[in-house]
Amino acid sequence: MGEGLTVLGLESSCDDTAAAVVHHAEGQSPEILSSVVFGQAELHDAFGGVVPEIAARAHAEKLDVCAAEALKRADMRLGAADAIAVTAGPGLIGGVISGVMCAKGLAAGAGLPLVGVNHLAGHALTPRLTDGLDYPYLMLLVSGGHCQFLIVRGCNEFKRLGGTIDDAPGEAFDKVARLLGLPQPGGPAVEAEAARGDPERFSFPRPLLDRPGCDMSFSGLKTALLRARDEVMRRRGGLGTRDRADLCAGFQAAVREVMREKTRRALDAYFAEHPPQPALAVAGGVAANTPLREALKTLTEGLDTRFVAPPLPLCTDNAAMIAYAGIELFRAGHRDDMSLAARPRWPLDTAQAAMLGHGKKGAKA
Ligand code: KG4
Ligand code: ZN
């Protein structure tokens, strides 16, 4: 495989079973040799959310198939890898255990080193994999399970500036879609409706904007939307196309405004610590939201700050980010053995108390 490191990564912390092979020679750009993702959406559809037991079983059934496919697409044998990296948390514990067990088996069988990776670190390091971003930078992680601002200083050095105190934003988009009879995942459906709606017709709250700092809250917003929907239905006896679009537009405008202002504050806090390196990166499925992305882009342009938004397949859950984080950790001398534990919670910033609550897709860490 030439100079450098080649790592097989496995990911199974939520509802995607994924395996990938990444190669990185120092001084060059990392290369994704393969990235395979088996989604489980159809298994959970009928339940309105991810069912942990179903997810764990599906991971256990698919992980080895996924790993074999990733190796095949990378055109290599397992023995040619330098290490195996696996998500060891945080997440739905049954899925994380499935991944860790599979990685241990592969590592023992092939006599390869094992590296346990924090799923959030995988997301947080993705801008280095995709855009070669240097440390330090500010990361906004926004998905169905996570929501936090992190100063990323090294592959094992993170400072959390704030995050959601209840729902993750993707979770709120999904719930809003359910309340309005739109399909799952809710984000793209709500965004499409919002594009046709009037964001001014309903005035939704801007939660926690009146409080200092960059913590966020999305659960009250969802309740406000429920009330507004019920009020329309009571008055008109049903929900029209126009009403649905206006509700989505009002909700999305509120999320965008809160995120933009909280990001501005997080950037202030980041600049206070790292003035010479202005960079903001986003990851997570909600980063696919065009109006939100545009708002963050405009904000950073006004502040002379580089803005990095990785391509969507690498913003959402995947194993290339785990393989890449594994490469950085391996290079830093990190090794695990057969005692590697699967962790439902695993905050990146251990100096601070963990955020409260569990998202529909697992622990918020
Ligand atoms: O990162 P991701 O694929 O999975 C995890 O949550 O880990 O994120 C999925 C979330 C879902 O809640 C989905 O509704 C949301 O990202 N999402 C969006 C958009 N596309 C996906 N939210 C808002 N706007 C979008 N365009
Ligand atoms: Zn994730």
Tens-level pLDDT at each residue, the chain (365 residues): 457 999 999 999 988 899 999 999 988 999 999 999 998 777 887 777 788 888 889 888 999 999 999 999 999 999 999 999 999 999 989 999 999 999 999 999 999 999 999 999 999 999 999 999 999 999 999 988 889 999 999 999 999 999 999 999 999 999 999 999 998 889 999 999 999 999 999 999 999 999 999 999 999 999 999 999 999 999 999 999 999 999 999 999 999 999 999 999 999 999 999 888 899 999 988 998 999 999 999 999 999 999 999 999 998 899 999 999 999 999 999 999 999 999 999 988 878 766 654 444 554 44
Give the mutation target among 143, 164, 176 for probing the ligand 1 site: most ligand atoms within 8 A of CB. Answer: 143
Tell me what pLDDT residue 123 has. 94
Residues facing residue 137 across a β-bridge: 152
Q: Which of 8, 2, 141 lies closest to 74, judged by CA?
A: 8
In this prediction, residue 316 carries a pLDDT of 87
DSSP string across 261-278:
HHHHHHHHHHHHH-TT--
Give the end of a domain, one of 263, 281, 309.
309
Do both 179 and 291 map to the same domain? yes
Looking at the fold, whether 196 and 291 belong to one and the same domain comes out as yes
Which residues does ligand 1 sit against, CB inside 6 Å?
14, 143-145, 170-171, 173-174, 185-188, 191, 284-286, 288-289, 316-317, 361
Domain count, the chain: 2
The pair of three-digit structure tokens given for residue 275, joined into one six-digit string: 């003035």
Amino acid at 344: P
Tell me the best of 173, 193, 259, 317 to mutate to test the pocket of ligand 1, counting ligand atoms within 8 Å of each CB and taking the most. Answer: 173
Query: Domain check: are 152 and 10 in the same one?
Result: no
**Ligand 1 centre distance from Cα of residue 71 (Å):** 28
Same domain, 80 and 214: no
Atom 22 (ligand 1): residue with closest C-alpha? 187
Task: Give CA torsion, residues 263, 212, 219, 163, to 10 deg.
Answer: 50
- Looking at residue 3, its pLDDT comes to 75
Residue 231: CB atoms within 10 A of its CB come to 11
In the sheet that holds 306-308, the strands lie side by side as 157-163, 147-154, 137-142, 279-283, 306-308
On whether both 190 and 107 belong to a single domain, the answer is no
> What pLDDT is recorded for position 358?
46
Same domain, 48 and 186: no
Verify that 251 and 201 share a domain, yes or no: yes
CATH number for the domain harbouring residue 115: 3.30.420.40
Shared domain for 199 and 280, answered yes or no, is yes
Last residue of one domain, picked from the residues 287, 309, 331: 309
Residues 154 and 302 in one domain: yes
Same domain for 122 and 261, yes or no, is: no
Does 231 lie in the same domain as 173? yes
Q: Which of 269, 286, 309 is the last residue of a domain?
A: 309
91 alpha carbon – ligand 2 mean position (Å):
9
Full residue range of the structural domain in which residue 101 is found: 5-129+314-363
18 touches 12 (CB < 8 A): yes
pTM of full prediction above 0.75:
yes
Both 210 and 108 in one domain: the answer is no
